[in-house]
Structure 1
């Protein structure tokens, strides 16, 4: 399936100092590559975003966001659909934020503040309150903890085809040899391209993707056993072991907020 290009709303000007864009992204839609004269936080309150910047491509869950300094070229989309909340922030107030793009954790407070800031754009009945919410959003961004990485995503069409299929069906356990036969290349070539583009093997990426998607599913109403089966684990105990090994706590404790996103 192909992706469809969508355009940004034409009626939003420069932030003064904060503007929150609210938009529902349909599956397989994207904003074409562009940049701004202001900073941006790319975030989704539900669903998953794909973010492409020079030299890096990854996806983020509602527990993560991406900071994009002014002038950084980027492309944002969603494979499965998402509720997009994009924060445009004037450079007059971003002096304390990182000078390079960064992925960071989004906790309950920042998530609630983003939702409140978006709602306040619909009314001007209390500008002082809106200013205080804006100040709290900026304070939370300054205190945000950067993450070493999100789920890496390939920039090449061939590898994206493989990753999209596995992401859509995490139980897909086809090996590099099986994928290479389908793509008409050698297994060695496919492995080499995965290592060059993503810095890891297909098997390692699949394992990381399952962990990433488990975090997305844990934010819903699905129980541990359902999640384990959805992701292709043999049992709930196998899923719990893999999750605890990677995150440091069980899925149940993670839901209670006793660990951050990986």
Structure 2
């Protein structure tokens, strides 16, 4: 006889206190460092949003798990009923937004990252500042509808830092993981792996969905966030990550997070000391 199927994990207990959302139902909380969420699921599609740092979500059950890591400039979409765990390494502000079924059906049926545009960020920031949870009141419906429309039209990504076992890309990714400040150009890497710059550029796009520079910048951003939390000087971080001048590092960091490195550090310290 085949083994009995594994029982479905429980709903998050806070879900049982909520009515089914028509537009959005939001929950805001201050999360302590090194907070983990045990395996659970939700009856509705869920947007996970943090104000800084990283959120790590593992979806599904072994051996078919999917692991997503997202910095604060991305939202994590988890469709209804998908089992998942979550882990947050640093103190931060967290918002969970449940979508009404009509809207959730317009998003993918698999988990993904959603780009947090300046308008999406501003709408979420406003809800958090006012601690709005229920968007059913007439005076909240227009903002909720606008936010949902923007979520549906925003760019989607299967992973923030995709990986591959491709025989020519793997040595490059491994080297950058060890030394993210390596300034070797794509043309130089092409010589190292016996390829051409044009061929490698196509392989990055085909295998990872990113250019070589985009992938390296994402890796550098993750390392920069860790270094900022460890109180390293911004100039030192810039040099360690291969930038000849701190202004170039600051521009990259701001482009990805919407914050300067110093403001990111101040926000992290304020939450860590709460």
Q: For the superposition of Structure 1 and Structure 2, which TM-score range results when normalised by the shorter chain?
A: 0.5 to 0.7
Unaligned runs of 5+ in 1: 1-6, 154-169, 172-198, 200-204, 241-249
Segments of structure 2 that go 5 or more residues without pairing to the other structure are: 1-11, 164-178, 181-207, 209-214, 259-274
Larger Rg: 2
- Give the corresponding residue for 1:21: 27
**Equivalent position to 1:149, from 136, 156, 159:** 159
- Work out whether 1:237 is the aligned partner of 2:244: yes
Distance 2:124 2:69 in 1: 20
What is the TM-score normalised by the length of structure 2? 0.57
Is residue 45 of structure 2 the alignment partner of residue 69 of structure 1?
Answer: no
- Measured against aligned partners, the alpha-carbon deviations of 1:209-253 in whole angstroms (never above 9, x if no partner) come to 5432436889xxx98514336xxx17642888xxxxxxxxx4444
- State yes or no: 1:100 paired with 2:106: no
Matches within 5 A, 1:1-262: 9=14, 11-54=17-60, 55-119=65-129, 122=132, 127-151=137-161, 209-214=219-224, 224-228=234-238, 233=240, 236-237=243-244, 250-254=248-252, 257=255
Distance 2:142 2:227 in 1: 33
How far apart are the structure 2 equivalents of 1:38 and 1:210?
35
Cα distance in 2 between the residues matched to 1:43 and 1:53: 16
Q: Shift of residue 259 of structure 1?
A: 10
Cα distance in 2 between the residues matched to 1:77 and 1:258? 21
2:184 counterpart residue number: none
**1:46 alignment partner, SS class:** coil
Cα distance in structure 2, aligned partners of 1:125 and 1:39: 16
Quote the offset at 1:121 in angstroms. 5.2
User: How many residue pairs end up in the alignment?
Assistant: 193
Question: Residues 151 and 208 of structure 1 are in contact (CA less than 8 Å); yes or no, is this contact kept in structure 2?
Answer: yes
Higher relative contact order (CA 8 A, sep 6+): 2
Instruction: Give the whole-Å Cα distance in 2 for the aligned partners of 1:134 and 1:228.
Output: 39
The offset of 1:72, in angstroms, is: 1.1
- Evaluate the alpha carbon distance shift between residue 79 and residue 254 of structure 1 in structure 2; reply closer, same or farther with a 3 A threshold: same
CA shift, 1:60, in A, is 1.3
TM-score, structure 1 length as denominator?
0.59
Between the aligned partners of 2:256 and 2:53, the Cα distance in structure 1 is: 22
1:89-131 per-position Cα deviation (integer Å, ceiling 9, x unaligned): 1212222111111112112110111122345554989933310
Instruction: State the superposition RMSD in angstroms.
Output: 4.1
Q: CA deviation at 1:135?
A: 0.5
Partners of 1:97 and 1:62 lie apart in 2 by: 20
**2:46, 2:234 → 1: CA distance?**
35
How far apart, CA to CA, are the structure 1 residues paired with 2:157 and 2:133? Answer: 35
